[in-house]
A and B are shown apart, each in its own frame.
Chain A
Amino acid sequence: MEFFRIQRDIPFMRFALTFNVISLVTFVLAVIFLAFRGLNLGVDFRGGTLIEVTYGHAVDFNRVRTAIDTLSIGEYAAQSFGRSDTALIRLPLKPGVSSAQLSERVMGALRADDPSARQDRVEFVGPQVGKELYENGALALLLVSLGIVGYLAMRFEWRFAVAAIIANLHDVIIILGFFALFQWEFSLPVLAAVLAVLGYSVNESVVIADRIRENFRKMRKATVTHVIDDAITKTISRTIITHGLTLMMVLSILFFGGETLHYFALALTIGICFGIYSSVLVMAPLVMWMGVSREDLVKPEKKREGLEGEKILP
């Protein structure tokens, strides 16, 4: 079997501007959604209490709400969660009220109303902890970006590092944009997925960058555009197969992993789809426009140019 029967190099760079415009539009849209709708932060970051209750039968939300209303605890939200017999109740933080006891009271009221109510999960996060988790998340994002830029600048060249991080941070923004647009809940596992996507799509940029460097060594007379086109064409089969397979795995999580992992898998799915696009079709033109040249990557006087260097040079 061979899916990719490509006769000659595909002139990707001829459409470089188009790709980047598409990207830019998506990016701007994502930023607009983020700015105007904002992220629907989960209990992890905003603080508050979350109770998952399972009944012996389909949930009657009117009864659930009536039962909770008797406590007069103010604002709350009750919604279904994955299955018809499961209800998810969210209570916001309230200054002065010990949230630790709040969940007990709610469960007490629900059990009094319907003895089949079973508490399956309680999550309570205090305001301080929520703020810290938020700050740590932002810090982790920053650290990952810096680490990747540093490593790529060291292994390749600064242009690749800058292009890769622009391409990949733009993936992150797009994922966040989706979460803002659809108001999906942004929780700790989603944050983990976003950071994993960042690490993952940099993979893609690395593969392309590696190939561009190799081509600069082998194709001595070719133009920069030709070198980049050839690199992308040569790796396109691997790109699609790899991402297709990873996507299979992620879809498996999405379909079989249940509610808890739903948004986690969703973030990964979006990340992988946009990751392929941006790391190839955004990063490569950026490198080209920043004026990468053969001399930047192939330095014959230096011997530490990677493992394959000495063997391949004729």
Chain B
Amino acid sequence: MNRYPIWKYVIIAVALLTGIVFTIPNFFPEVPAVQVSSSKATVKVDSALLGTVEDTLKSASIPYRGAVLDATGIKLRFDDPDTQLKAKDALQTKLGDNYIVALNLVSASPRWLAAIGALPMYLGLDLRGGVHFLLQVDMKAALDKAADRYTTDIRSLLREKKVQYAGVGREATNVVVRFRDESERNKARAEIEKSFPDLAVREMEAPGEFRLVYSLKPEAQKKIQDGAVQQNITILRNRVNELGVAEPIVQQQGADRVVVQLPGVQDTARAKDILGRTATLEIRMVNDEPGAVEAAIAGQPPLGSDLFTERSGGPVLVRRQVVLTGDRINDAQPGFDQRSNEPAVHVSLDGTGARIFKEVTRENVGKRMAIVLVEKGKAEVITAPVIREEIGGGRVQISGRMNTREANDIALLMRAGALAAPMEIVEERTVGPSLGKENIDKGFNSVFYGFIVLVVFMCAYYLLMGLISAIALSVNLMLLVALLSMLQATLTLPGIAAIALTLGMAIDSNVLINERIREELRWGATPHAALTAGYERAFGTILDSNVTTLIAGIALLIFGTGPVRGFAVVHCLGIMTSMFSAVFVSRGIVNLIYGGRKHLTGISIGQVWKPAPGASVPAK
């Protein structure tokens, strides 16, 4: 009667095996490592680079262990932090700015484990140390900026179409156009509607004046806001790359927030500085006078010119006078030249920008123009194309000497040079590495000592059945750790507390079962009947109580952030593993031990005390 079919044991065996495989990586110590990844979209980390990296280390006679190339880059392990630092410096010098060479810690687990995806648990910032920022994008500023752009655009459009107007101005996020008479207003309204479909219009009258009030349609507002957040994320990623962090996280949270997590970063001041800086994009003319570049390289740049390096590496001499700044650029998209079908970047300028650009290009046909990204006082020439003809209308195409990927990259840089809207840090959590290590120890101790008490009590009070419960509890702990490793869910200090709490609550199921078995034995059930009844009757109760606990866990998961979320994830997973191990696994062991015996005379579950005769007996 107390036997499990083979398939149930197969399930248990598979679960245990998977559990063991995914738990193992957590037992290996972490070793110092250096991680090489690409800092630019155009630069690829491939096996050729792996060769270069290995050669560099060999020629510098720095011993390393295992060089692995995976999706995140190249990882090299070292015996001690000193060699790690030496290797980092050697690689940084050799590889230059196109690659991020970051210090990291990786698990010393064998490679085959990593190959099947068995990694150690992903530790949260409170355990490994690092910085967490929550940045809020100022959406009002993004909309103001858009309204400013439309104000200039409408003004140039009306001028171009020769419509008489009294004035164009921005009021909050609205653009107000004023007219002296109604017919001009109607003419303007038709023209604007044709050119700017994203604007909603309202007519207003004032004494002697006719007005058109334009506002962004809700869907256009949403598009601008989404675009602003996306653009800011792109820029933040570029900046974070510069910090040389091994596993940075930059992602959107909610409608208007960005989370930045930098594990292992200690210098928060520098991190804040780099994240918060402003970059500007400038368009300037190239100084192509013969001999000027050579003179500049020799250390004598001509007056009013600066020597910069182009992204391709060559020197460019650029005049100091700024033709246009980046905020005149509405958009930049990669594409193809319609005639030659070469990769190109299509840039659209706002009204003022278009006018200036037309003048400049008319006067400088045949000369070169440089697009310069100035960030933190450091300038870089993104590209320096030759002006072929006068360009009007604000639609500019940059083409030639680039492949599709470069076109993509240049477009991104032109768009992403400056933040689309200002950002503000609204939450910061920084944890030092020593505190992180301390937190791990404290968390481990809480689980360890609590667990020991539980096991000792169960074994003493319920004897063999208690030991089985203790085994089930260990299985529970192992499966929980395996599940956390498998899902790579972030483990935080409250998460470790949740492991302890979950174990404390999981034992409830076994106590329920064991007490029930004792009770059945007390009222004279045969051992086999008592086991069956104990497990089956307790199951309904266990299910109910776990569902209610799960409700609480899920609510925490939905509403929780940060520490609470870390707690909730472990709590929810733990409830599931405890159902499996406390009921299914422990029953499996019990069946294995007692199930085969036909004439079972007793169960080792501790003393079954019987009340004196004459005491109340349950009505059967």
- The residues of A with any CB-CB pair to B shorter than 8 Å are 1-2, 5-9, 52, 54, 98, 100-101, 103-104, 118-126, 128-129, 133, 136-137, 139-140, 143-144, 147-148, 151-152, 155, 188-189, 191-192, 195-196, 198-200, 202-203, 206-207, 210-211, 214, 218-222, 230, 234-235, 237-238, 241-242, 245-253, 255-258, 260-261, 264-265, 268, 306-308, 311
Contacts and interface: CB of A to CB of B under 8 A. Distances in A.
Given A120-B431, A257-B497, A207 B442 contact: no
Given A100-B425, A261-B442, A308-B540, A140 B558 contact: yes
20 contacts: A98-B424, A100-B428, A124-B429, A125-B427, A126-B424, A144-B551, A147-B551, A202-B549, A203-B508, A237-B515, A246-B504, A248-B457, A250-B500, A251-B450, A252-B449, A253-B446, A253-B450, A253-B500, A264-B494, A307-B536
A245 B607 contact: no
Contacts of B424: 98, 126
Interface stretch (B114-122, B216-224, B343-351, B612-620): B612-620
B508 A242 contact: yes
A234 B515 CA distance: 9
Contacts of A235: 515
B442 A256 contact: yes
Contacts of B126: 260
Given A119-B430, A245-B504, A255-B449, 17 more contacts: A101-B272, A104-B269, A104-B272, A120-B435, A123-B429, A124-B425, A124-B427, A124-B428, A124-B429, A189-B563, A189-B567, A192-B568, A202-B545, A202-B549, A220-B619, A230-B618, A238-B511
Nearest to B442: A258
Interface of B: 126, 134, 136, 268-269, 272, 424-432, 434-435, 438-439, 442-443, 445-447, 449-451, 453-454, 457, 460-461, 493-494, 497-498, 500-501, 503-505, 507-508, 511-512, 515, 518-519, 536-537, 539-541, 544-545, 547-556, 558-564, 567-568, 571, 606-609, 611-612, 615-616, 618-620
Contacts of B434: 54, 118, 120
B556 A140 contact: yes
Residue of B429, B515, B548, B616 most packed against chain A (CB within 10 A):
B548
Given A104-B269, A129-B427, A196-B571, A257 B559 contact: no
A254 B431 CA distance: 21
A203 B439 CA distance: 30
B568 A122 contact: no
Nearest to B504: A249
B461 A1 contact: yes
The B contact surface, by secondary structure, is: helix
A155 B544 CA distance: 8
B541 A210 contact: yes
A137 B559 contact: yes
Contacts of B612: 7
A248 B427 CA distance: 35
Given A219-B619, A249-B501, A257 B545 contact: no
B439 A308 contact: no
A195 B555 contact: yes
Contact of B426 (A129, A221, A252): A129
B449 A256 contact: yes
A195 B549 CA distance: 9
A306 B571 CA distance: 26
Contacts of B430: 119, 121-123
B460 A1 contact: yes
Given A155-B544, A256-B449, A308 B536 contact: yes
Given A261-B493, A307-B539, A206 B446 contact: no
A147 B555 contact: yes
B536 A189 contact: no
A2 B515 contact: no
B459 to A, nearest CB: 11
A314 B47 CA distance: 74
B500 A249 contact: yes
Contacts of B519: 234
A199 B454 contact: no
Given A1-B461, A2-B609, A128-B426, A196 B552 contact: yes
Contacts of B427: 124-126, 129
B151 to A, nearest CB: 30
A14 to B, nearest CB: 15
B555 A5 contact: no
Given A1-B607, A5-B609, A188-B563, A242 B512 contact: yes
A252 B431 contact: no
A200 B450 CA distance: 18
Contacts of B511: 238, 241-242, 245
A230 B488 CA distance: 47
A144 B560 CA distance: 13
Given A2-B609, A189-B494, A241-B461, A203 B551 contact: no
Contacts of B512: 207, 238, 242
B446 A245 contact: no
B606 A1 contact: yes
B429 A206 contact: no
B432 A119 contact: yes
Contact of B504 (A119, A237, A248, A258): A248
